[in-house]
Structure 1
């Protein structure tokens, strides 16, 4: 019969196991805290790719630390690290065949990062969900939508990625100006008050306060007032419904001939400024 281990030896192993668990827990917290500081740093803010790679690196390091910690704990129970690594390889291979979705998540996540499809901080549309990328992990890509909710998207479901370079969609409302200068001034005042009320009513979908760009005239002589909104992608309903209807009804009080077709709402994705070779560090703005 195998002799029992001395009581002092058992106590020592328990202390070692607790020390390993506590040490790994502290190291994991330290790594995550360090990752958050790196992602919030000036360099990471300037280069969005750094934030994405940092997010993925933290996930990989944390996984590796837990994996090693389990091996060290098992060693205290008399299981060799060689046997642990061999069994982990065999189990991993079996799980890989049985869980192809997990493998697809990892491969797709790496593809998303290193193919520049999207970075942390980008406004994107993925798998039917629109939001700002908060994290690209080993298994999930995490978005924050316009309601502030976190959306976890399995990487294997990412087939198409729509990236909004400026982080919004630009909605442009062109409002026809009719009548003499007095009526035109009344129309501008009405539109201005409706625009302000719209921003107060729908702050969740309007990323920045709307701006009134001023009066414009076409080559045919038609004059209109242009209003610019910057909104969350796919959230133009309140403008197409409430804003446009309110403008038309309000302007009919000034001129009864006013009709729906006199308020035109269009959408476009505003591109980022580009820097050309030989120019200064300041960007050259594209068409506004």
Structure 2
């Protein structure tokens, strides 16, 4: 028997291939345009809400991040289905007919549903907002985005952590209400404690008048601990949120200068 390869009409082949490539290009361009327009409309809508002060800045950024995330997932899904339809492939038939793929999707969906449900309650109960300083598990940092599946937390060394929402079993939010600035300062045993406390409190009162981020105090509580060669005196202040570290640095500088001036006067 003589086997002959079927003749290929190259003109039709290249024409059909060109049409498919053209359609794919058009679909992709439409996807890019819709994505950019959608992102701009979402951003503009929340910007108007912020200008009208109908929603807090942190809450606005959180919801904007979430809606943008949902929009991206929906758009990618429509894009994939459209491409499959272009090749006359039914997306539902693929998922239903591929037993192994369907099983894998089923197992993956369990984690996805858990992520979505956990993220929903995080937002519903207002446990977290973009810009909050939080601690969850071994991660601490500033929340940059709350997505449909993951929450992004940037630590203070610049590392960006992508945490699946289902992994957030415990959450500490350090950005709710005023915070506390705490400074422990040591003085030698031979120094007069009452006089040192008086000098430190005077320096704290002066700092409170010039630092608007201090809500209450600073107050010298007194002796906190007795060391082997010195006495530990504790000073605390109530500050605006996220200003506690700045205030602590200023308190250390002012208290050190106050004690130095006391030593200079005696010398």
Task: Place the TM-score, normalised by the shorter chain, in its bin.
Answer: 0.5 to 0.7
Alignment partner, residue 260 of structure 2: 250
Alignment partner, residue 56 of structure 1: 66
Alignment partner, residue 41 of structure 2: 34
Alignment partner, residue 278 of structure 1: none
Structure showing greater Rg: 2
Q: Please state how far the C-alpha of 1:81 moved relative to its aligned partner.
A: 4.3
Larger helix fraction of residues: 2
2:180 paired with 1:170: yes
C-alpha spacing 1:3/1:80, structure 2 compared with 1 (3 Å): farther
Q: Please state how far the C-alpha of 1:102 moved relative to its aligned partner.
A: 4.1
Q: Please state how far the C-alpha of 1:8 moved relative to its aligned partner.
A: 2.8
Taking the aligned partners of 2:147 and 2:107, their CA distance within structure 1 comes to 21
C-alpha spacing 1:170/1:148, structure 2 compared with 1 (3 Å): farther
Alignment partner, residue 8 of structure 1: 15
1:157-195 CA-to-partner distances (Å, cap 9, x unmatched) read 21122224546623266999966xxxx7898469858x9
Alignment partner, residue 124 of structure 2: 114
The equivalences for 1:1-288 within 5 A come to 5-43=12-50, 46-48=54-56, 49-84=59-94, 86=96, 91=101, 93-97=103-107, 100-146=110-156, 150-166=160-176, 169-171=179-181, 188=202, 229-230=239-240, 232=242, 243=253, 246=256, 249-250=259-260, 252-253=262-263
C-alpha spacing 1:90/1:214, structure 2 compared with 1 (3 Å): closer
Taking the aligned partners of 1:186 and 1:249, their CA distance within structure 2 comes to 7
Contact 1:144 1:150 in 2 (8 A): yes
C-alpha spacing 1:213/1:233, structure 2 compared with 1 (3 Å): closer
Taking the aligned partners of 1:81 and 1:2, their CA distance within structure 2 comes to 32
Contact 1:52 1:120 in 2 (8 A): yes
- SS of alignment partner, residue 82 of structure 2: helix
Contact 2:133 2:173 in 1 (8 A): yes
C-alpha spacing 1:58/1:211, structure 2 compared with 1 (3 Å): closer
Taking the aligned partners of 1:140 and 1:73, their CA distance within structure 2 comes to 27
Please identify, of 16-25 and 52-61, the stretch whose mean Cα deviation from structure 2 is larger: 52-61
Q: Which runs of 5+ in 1 are unaligned?
A: 200-207, 217-224, 257-288
Q: Please state how far the C-alpha of 1:15 moved relative to its aligned partner.
A: 0.6
RMSD: 4.9
TM-score (norm 2): 0.62
C-alpha spacing 1:28/1:190, structure 2 compared with 1 (3 Å): closer
Contact 2:205 2:217 in 1 (8 A): no
Q: Please state how far the C-alpha of 1:93 moved relative to its aligned partner.
A: 4.6
C-alpha spacing 1:233/1:105, structure 2 compared with 1 (3 Å): farther
C-alpha spacing 1:92/1:161, structure 2 compared with 1 (3 Å): farther
TM-score (norm 1): 0.59
Contact 2:133 2:175 in 1 (8 A): yes
Contact 2:95 2:102 in 1 (8 A): no
Count of residues paired in the alignment = 236
Q: Which runs of 5+ in 2 are unaligned?
A: 1-5, 186-191, 221-234
